[in-house]
């Protein structure tokens, strides 16, 4: 004899999920029609689960799973640390294996849309495709010698710049618009890329409408190098090149002066906030001040973890401790903060669609069903 039971169900379509609780005979009555859903929708039994949109992880380098536990307290990104595995040591096959591990971890932790860029970008795209994630993938472009960089030296290598740019453009040609994959432009950082490389990225972005993802003000060494090489801060350098704006997504943004914060915020550029990695070496990005100045803020784990809930907790802790806004920056921003409207766009609103276009009101990500323990 068939029993009756209350069943929570979700019908998922391209316009977003719809929900209802119905009483239906068990095991029958499980179709989409009971939800008023269009034909072809997938229907999931969601009893005992919390359903929410998939999370957006806005900055990662999935093959850097290889250095997990080696670099967190060193105060620098792996590319600047001697004695740890370096990206240029990895083959395409090894990069793919590590990317699969990193992508799987992000998916298991609830991220269904990711930004991922590193060497061998085709391997990153393949891993994301295999696991069904929406991914914005790019090749890490740089023209400072990788081995010298790990020793704290900045030696320009034009052949490296040409090779990494070629790999990045090949990824755009092969992967952009293929299923859930789109391509971005990813110059590594102001200190690891010459002015020439950033100018090429700017021109490519202007011609194609693609986003530029980079690192910015992630260490005192970067700030010192830009002052020595260009006579300006990293933020001033990007502004001088015409790169500051809504199409720029900059990770970290830690070591910024008050004028840097105001300049960045005024442009409407986007911060990829990585609170876990920052906190591991005692740093905190001035995200409150950046947001009040007009910048948009997204959240990422930067391969230090895949857990976006942990990232949310760490971001809140940093903000509550007051580290999210250095006191030196506050007077210069106080007047502007009164006039600025705080942006409340979700992370998905700042990710790119086909062709790298900015989506300010993006579609739902794939839904997650979180089962109670």
Residue pLDDT, tens place only, 97-113: 999 999 999 998 889 99
* Predicted local confidence at residue 51, as pLDDT: 74
Distance of alpha carbon 95 from alpha carbon 362, whole angstroms:
30
Are 195 and 303 in a shared domain?
A: yes
Flag whether 367 is in a domain. Answer: no
Residue in this structure with the two tokens 């860029």, named with its chain if needed: 117
Are 27 and 65 in a shared domain?
A: no
Are 41 and 138 in a shared domain?
A: no
Are 181 and 38 in a shared domain?
A: no
Of these ranges, 226-240, 300-314, 354-368, the one predicted with the greatest mean pLDDT is 226-240
- Residue-range definition of the domain harbouring residue 17: 3-47
314: tokens are 């760490």
> Between these two residues, 244 and 320, which has the higher pLDDT value?
244
**What Cα–Cα distance (Å) separates residue 137 from each residue in 76, 172, 263?**
23, 9, 28
Q: Predicted confidence band at 182 (pLDDT cuts at 50, 70, 90)?
A: very high
User: The pTM is what?
Assistant: 0.79
By mean pLDDT, which of 102-111, 203-212, 356-365 is the weakest? 356-365
Q: How many domains does the chain have?
A: 2
Are 258 and 206 in a shared domain?
A: yes
**What Cα–Cα distance (Å) separates residue 219 from each residue in 80, 82, 216, 227?**
10, 16, 8, 13
> Between these two residues, 17 and 62, which has the higher pLDDT value?
62
**Residues with Cβ within 8 Å of residue 273, at least 6 apart in sequence:** 253, 285, 287, 297, 298, 299, 300, 315
Rounded percentage of the chain residues whose pLDDT exceeds 90: 55
pLDDT tens readout for residues 317-354: 888 876 554 444 444 434 443 333 333 334 444 444 33
| Helices vs strands, H then E, count in the chain | 12, 14
CATH of the domain at 101: 3.20.20.140
Of these ranges, 30-39, 82-91, 175-184, 359-368, the one predicted with the greatest mean pLDDT is 175-184
């Amino acid at each position: 004899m068939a029993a009756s039971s209350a069943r929570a169900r979700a019908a998922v379509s391209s316009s977003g999920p719809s929900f209802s609780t119905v009483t239906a005979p068990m095991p029958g009555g499980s179709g989409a029609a009971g939800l008023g859903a269009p034909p072809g929708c997938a229907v999931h039994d969601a009893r005992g689960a919390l359903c929410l949109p998939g999370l957006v992880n806005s900055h990662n380098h999935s093959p850097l799973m290889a250095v997990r536990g080696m670099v967190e307290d060193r105060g620098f990104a792996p590319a600047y640390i001697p004695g740890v595995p370096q990206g240029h040591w990895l083959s395409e096959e090894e990069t793919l294996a590590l990317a699969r591990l990193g992508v799987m971890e992000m998916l298991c932790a609830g991220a269904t849309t990711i930004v991922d860029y590193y060497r061998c970008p085709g391997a990153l795209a393949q891993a994301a495709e295999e696991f069904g994630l929406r991914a914005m993938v790019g090749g890490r472009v740089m023209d400072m010698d990788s081995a010298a960089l790990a020793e704290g030296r900045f030696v320009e290598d034009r052949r490296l710049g040409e090779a990494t740019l070629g790999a990045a453009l090949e990824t755009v040609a092969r992967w952009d618009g293929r299923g859930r994959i789109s391509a971005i432009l990813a110059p590594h950082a102001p200190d690891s890329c010459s002015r020439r490389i950033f100018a090429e990225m700017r021109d490519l972005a202007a011609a194609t409408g693609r986003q530029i993802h980079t690192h910015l003000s992630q260490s005192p060494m970067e700030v010192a190098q830009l002052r020595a090489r260009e006579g300006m801060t990293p933020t001033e350098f990007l502004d001088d090149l015409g790169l500051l704006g809504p199409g720029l997504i900059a990770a970290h943004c830690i070591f910024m002066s008050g004028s840097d914060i105001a300049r960045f915020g005024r442009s409407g550029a986007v911060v990829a906030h990585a609170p876990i990695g920052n906190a591991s070496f005692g740093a905190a990005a001035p995200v409150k001040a950046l947001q009040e100045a007009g910048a948009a803020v997204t959240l990422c784990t930067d391969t230090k973890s895949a857990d976006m809930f942990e990232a949310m907790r760490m971001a809140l802790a940093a903000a509550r401790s007051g580290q999210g806004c250095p006191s030196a920056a506050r007077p210069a921003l106080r007047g502007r903060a009164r006039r600025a409207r705080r942006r409340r766009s979700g992370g998905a609103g700042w990710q790119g669609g086909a062709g790298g276009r900015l989506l300010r009101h993006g579609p739902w990500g794939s839904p997650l069903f979180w089962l109670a323990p």
